[in-house]
């Protein structure tokens, strides 16, 4: 039978080492004072009684299992810590992204409100510049109309005025007496919008818008009726 060296077996506990050393010392005829660890290192399996062999092997396997368990626990802890750091970083980034998005939206809304206020202010100033003149060109009259109604209604209003007066705020129908941009009949009806109804296109536009809204719901409603009947 070959002699298998026990050199390199890890002895798990002081008790196991001492026990093996004592047994080996007795079997080899060495004094009990010889170091148990040195004796165990130089001994072979054949030099150790069967019971002691089992004890040594059991201690070694137990130590190996403990080492493996410790390593596994350390690896698991490291993995858990890394996962926790990654999750915390992702959470922090998500919060930052949400905060940045909210700030960007708030800033955009603020800019939009500021631009709208500036546009309204500019429109009022432009309209003020156009009013109070002694006469108005077609372009100026159309500019006034654009500023007095919603953008999606201007074209319908313009279509009616094109047919009724050609944007001449002094247009008079010789046969019926209809007057102004929207050919109110009689023209004096427009006095409800202002006493300057004969000379101010803004007053005529105001009256015409009120008429179209009251009777047809909107200038586009009035234009639909006009297309079907050639009058409104």
Is pLDDT above 90 for 218?
yes
pLDDT tens for each residue of 147-164: 999 999 999 999 999 999
pLDDT at 123: 46
Backbone angles phi, psi at 172, to 5 degrees: -130, 135
Cα separation, 199 vs 217, in Å, equals 27
pLDDT tens for each residue of 47-100: 666 677 677 778 788 888 888 889 988 899 998 999 998 999 999 998 898 888
Is pLDDT above 80 for 26?
no
Give the angle 26-29-35 at the CA atoms, nearest 5°: 65
Domain boundaries, the chain: 14-69, 138-229
pLDDT tens for each residue of 113-142: 655 544 444 444 467 767 778 899 999 999
pLDDT at 182: 98
pLDDT at 56: 73
Q: Which residues contact 166 (CB under 8 A, 6 or more apart)?
A: 138
| Cβ contact 186:179 at 8 Å | yes
């Amino acid at each position: 039978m070959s002699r298998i060296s026990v050199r390199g077996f890890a002895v798990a506990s002081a008790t196991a080492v001492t026990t093996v050393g004592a047994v080996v010392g007795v079997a080899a005829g060495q004094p009990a004072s010889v170091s148990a660890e040195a004796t165990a290192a130089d001994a072979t399996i054949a030099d150790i009684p069967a019971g002691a062999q089992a004890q040594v092997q059991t201690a070694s396997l137990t130590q190996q299992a403990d080492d493996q368990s410790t390593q596994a626990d350390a690896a698991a802890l490291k993995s858990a810590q890394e996962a926790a750091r990654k999750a915390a970083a992702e959470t922090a980034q998500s919060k930052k992204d949400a905060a940045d998005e909210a700030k960007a939206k708030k800033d955009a809304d603020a800019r939009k409100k500021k631009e709208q206020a500036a546009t309204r202010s500019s429109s009022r100033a432009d309209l003020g510049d156009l009013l109070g003149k002694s006469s108005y060109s077609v372009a100026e009259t159309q500019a006034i109309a654009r500023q007095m109604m919603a953008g999606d209604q201007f074209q319908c209003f313009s279509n009616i005025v094109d047919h009724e007066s050609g944007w001449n705020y002094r247009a008079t129908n010789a046969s019926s007496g209809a007057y102004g941009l929207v050919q109110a009949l009689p023209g004096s009806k427009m006095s409800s919008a202002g006493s300057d109804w004969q000379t101010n296109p803004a007053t005529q536009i105001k009256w015409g818008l009120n008429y179209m809204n009251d009777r047809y719901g909107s200038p586009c409603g009035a234009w639909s009726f006009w297309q079907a009947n050639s009058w409104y």
